[in-house]
Chain A
Amino acid sequence: MSLLFFYSLRNLFTRRLTTFLTASGMALVVFVFASILMLAQGLENTLVETGSYDNAVVIRRSSVSEVQSGVERLQAAIVETLPEVALGPRGRPLLVKELVVLITMEKRQSGSPANVVIRGISEDSFLLRPQVTVSVGRTPRPGSSEIIIGRSIEKGFEGADLGKSLFFAMRSWTVVGVFDAGSTGFSSEIWGDVDQLMQAFRRPVYSSLLFRLRESSDFEQVKDRIERDPRLTLEAKRETTYYKDQSEMMAKFLRILGFSLTIVFSVGAIVGGMITMYASVANRTREIGTLRALGFRRKSILIAFLMESLFLGLLGGIAGLFFASFLQFFTVSTTNFQTFSELAFSFSLDVSITLKAVAFALGMGLLGGNLPAIRASGMEIVDALREA
């Protein structure tokens, strides 16, 4: 058996050009397959990490996102007094009332416009989002025209630099810090004092409330209380659910795109694999006859050729994954149409994607090599030896 194993390997080496072309075709397919999976995974990571399970978001009923929502001061005060809201270090309810609006900014490289989230924050906003840390500079002082920007904003947008100021809502705002929110959606936001921003944008209402639950299991109870209260026209969601819902459409789009592309591409690659394997069977008719004459069984021949095609697939798969792994250095920044705002996320490769890609590559190899291998094993010794 080991003889056949080396026979397959050496055959790939002998027909280098063909092996290279077939494997690179498969590598490209695996590359596309893996990159789409990585993109979807990256999007998911970003949105799952953005929320914390113990936090609840309150927005106006049926408003879908913070941008569309509006919460009046009176209603916000009612929610603040609910018993399920945890208490902060100063003994006050750990609840922040925030404003979310969009402004148009220009991207650094392309100069094309994008909608950036401006979030008006209160003192406890950082406390409620432990994943957000100030990396350079400091937090904006309450009551001042100061802002702190997310890392993706600093990287991606024109004029967003520490110490400079941005002009919007008829005021200039000084950038006093940059915050790092890991791979979460907050990295694509700009934060400033909520009261100042509400004044500047002339919006008398908050957009959303965010609070820590006293007990995580209290959520159903507080949700019920908020949604039943006749004074409130609000709805509550766990923060994790809230962010997951927001990316549903984009995630679905990526899935459809990825699925249809993979199908189309794999047809191309399987055809390529089949051509190669048929040719290598046809070229080696005499060799096959010799092997059979030496006493190798039909089954062994079948396995040898399948093995060869699996090697091809594996080669392609490894090469494709190798190149796809470099994608992790790239960040995609695009508009999420559900929130109409900019969101940056990166490709992320994990074990399950690696396994899926390799399995996919082997599957392509198997499918492409199947028919030719059957043909090879089905040859009669005499015919095979006579033909040349």
Chain B
Amino acid sequence: MLLRLVFRNVLRHKLRTALTLCGICVAILSFGLLRTVISAWYAGVEASSANRLITRNAISLIFPLPLSYLERIRGVEGVKTVSYGNWFGGIYIEEKNFFANFAVEPRTYLELYSEYLLPEDQKQAFLRDRRACIVGRKLAKRFDWTVGDLITLRGTIFPGNWEFVLRGIYSGRDHRVDESQFFFHWDYLNETLKKTEPLRADQVGIYILNVANPEHAAETGARVDRVFKNSYAETLTETEKSFQLGFVALTEAILLVIQLVSFVVIVIIMAVAANSMSMSVRERLGEYAVFKTLGFGGAYLGMLILGESLLMAVVGGTGGVLLTFPAARVFLNYLGDYFPIFLVTRQTVIFQGLAALAVGVAAAALPTWRAVRVPIIQALGRIG
């Protein structure tokens, strides 16, 4: 009986219900997309491994470390493999074609990042050729590159035009791996610098350390830093995760704004839904008075209103959640350059569901209070 009344009530004002549903749907959808943007921000953190440590110059990331540290780091207790690399900051044709490009020591790097899957023959070809580079699947698709292509990058940090031969295209082991990066031989960079700018040669941006046991990662990091304490270039070693979190923290103000906005959108739709409910209730005050006269209690009326509001929130919310997935795909097409990874997580969906429920409950609160409180005489005598 209660359920039937709820359904009937929902369908009474088809236009209003449709509009409210559409509003809730759009709000839940945008809430989901905004949460996805936030989780895309943390993609680098998600993809980091507990086994890896990053050592960089303690002053800031733009200062390099000498290559001579390599052997000393390798000698530190607990360190298994050491790789190193530089942020190259090259531009492909135009600045808007931005993608991350690194000069890395290829053999150890591929060993450390086993989540980059590269066919064995391509891997060998990459290792053999000093001018070789490898790129992620998405990046190759973006610029239509195939193995064997010549790629020229214009250096911003290291001046000049740099030519590379594409020798391999890697794919990620799972969806968390960033498939839009570009790697090439650190030796190519270094040997060229020896000729053009000898002062800047033999310098490394970051060292990447593999530790045998992630539980001892913090100790190992501290041990590395102790080795270089009071030297020309002091180091700061942290887990890959906190290194990536550092990048997130840099833009935390923007992140905060997006987070805030994702809640504001829910508040707006609460206002819209509450409005629509309060109108329905006002129109039906006379009927509620009849209910009361017949002996139905306040709780029953409350259930009636809450049920209607929740039903709308659930239907609208489900629509929003379902639409999030195709919308995220469209988003990725347009913003793939900004966010290499853009996936709707389970957590996002749960948040969406909770938000929809909150909208349903909040929208019913005021109208219920009003319907329960109004004296029968006044409600019956009311017009319009």
A interface residues, Cβ below 8 angstroms from B = 17-18, 21-22, 24-25, 28-29, 32, 60-64, 67-68, 101-104, 110, 112-115, 168-170, 201-202, 204, 233, 253, 256-257, 261, 264-265, 267-269, 271-272, 274-276, 278-279, 283-284, 286-287, 332-335, 337, 340
A32 vs B264: C-alpha distance when bound (angstroms): 9
Query: Which residues of chain A are near B335, meaning CB under 8 Å?
Result: 256
Query: Which residues of chain B are near A265, meaning CB under 8 Å?
Result: 30, 265, 268
B156 touches A64 (CB 8 A): yes
A96 vs B28: C-alpha distance when bound (angstroms): 55
Q: Closest residue of chain B to A25, judged by CB?
A: B271
Mask: chain B, 161-197; 1 = CB below 8 Å from A; 0 = not:
0000000000000000000000000000000000000
Q: Closest residue of chain B to A104, judged by CB?
A: B60
Q: Does B338 contact A (CB under 8 A)?
A: yes
Question: Given A202-B232, A275-B20, does the pair A21, B278 have CB atoms closer than 8 Å?
Answer: yes
A333 touches B253 (CB 8 A): yes
A275 touches B19 (CB 8 A): yes
Query: Which residues of chain A are near B60, meaning CB under 8 Å?
Result: 101-104, 115
B159 touches A283 (CB 8 A): no
A343 vs B11: C-alpha distance when bound (angstroms): 53
Residue in A268, A276, A332 whose beta carbon sits within 8 Å of that of B253 in the complex:
A332
Query: Which residues of chain A are near B294, meaning CB under 8 Å?
Result: none
A115 touches B250 (CB 8 A): yes
Q: Which residues 215-233 of B sit at the A interface, judged by CB distance below 8 A?
A: 230, 232
Query: Which residues of chain B are near A278, meaning CB under 8 Å?
Result: 15-16, 19
B59 touches A279 (CB 8 A): no
Q: Closest residue of chain A to B233, judged by CB?
A: A202
Query: Which residues of chain A are near B1, meaning CB under 8 Å?
Result: none
Question: Given A28-B264, A334-B253, does the pair A18, B275 have CB atoms closer than 8 Å?
Answer: yes
Question: Given A265-B268, A335-B251, does the pair A275, B156 have CB atoms closer than 8 Å?
Answer: no
A22 vs B277: C-alpha distance when bound (angstroms): 12
Q: Which 8 A-B pairs have the closest CB atoms?
A: A335-B250, A272-B272, A112-B249, A334-B253, A271-B23, A21-B275, A25-B271, A264-B30
A268 touches B156 (CB 8 A): no
9 A-B interface contacts by CB (under 8 A): A18-B282, A28-B268, A61-B159, A101-B59, A115-B250, A264-B26, A264-B30, A264-B265, A274-B19
Query: Which residues of chain B are near A168, meaning CB under 8 Å?
Result: 59
A24 touches B271 (CB 8 A): yes
A272 touches B338 (CB 8 A): no
Q: Does B384 contact A (CB under 8 A)?
A: yes
Q: Does B246 contact A (CB under 8 A)?
A: yes
Question: Given A272-B271, A276-B279, A334-B253, does the pair A102, B62 have CB atoms closer than 8 Å?
Answer: yes
A280 vs B307: C-alpha distance when bound (angstroms): 24
Question: Given A264-B30, A265-B268, A275-B19, does the pair A68, B156 have CB atoms closer than 8 Å?
Answer: yes
A61 vs B282: C-alpha distance when bound (angstroms): 70
Query: Which residues of chain B are near A102, meaning CB under 8 Å?
Result: 60-62
Name the residue in B60, B95, B257 with the highest tally of chain A Cβ atoms < 10 Å from its Cβ.
Answer: B60
A104 touches B199 (CB 8 A): no
Q: Which residues 256-288 of B sit at the A interface, judged by CB distance below 8 A?
A: 257-258, 261, 264-265, 267-269, 271-272, 274-276, 278-279, 282-283
Query: Which residues of chain A are near B91, meaning CB under 8 Å?
Result: 62
Q: Closest residue of chain B to A280, judged by CB?
A: B279
Query: Which residues of chain B are near A32, meaning CB under 8 Å?
Result: 261, 264
Question: Given A63-B156, A113-B249, A261-B261, does the pair A271, B279 have CB atoms closer than 8 Å?
Answer: no
B59 touches A18 (CB 8 A): no
A62 touches B155 (CB 8 A): yes
Q: Closest residue of chain A to B269, judged by CB?
A: A268
Question: Given A68-B156, A68-B157, A333-B253, does the pair A272, B384 have CB atoms closer than 8 Å?
Answer: no
Closest chain B CB from A211 CB (angstroms): 22
Question: Given A21-B271, A21-B275, A29-B268, does the pair A267, B26 have CB atoms closer than 8 Å?
Answer: yes
A64 vs B366: C-alpha distance when bound (angstroms): 57
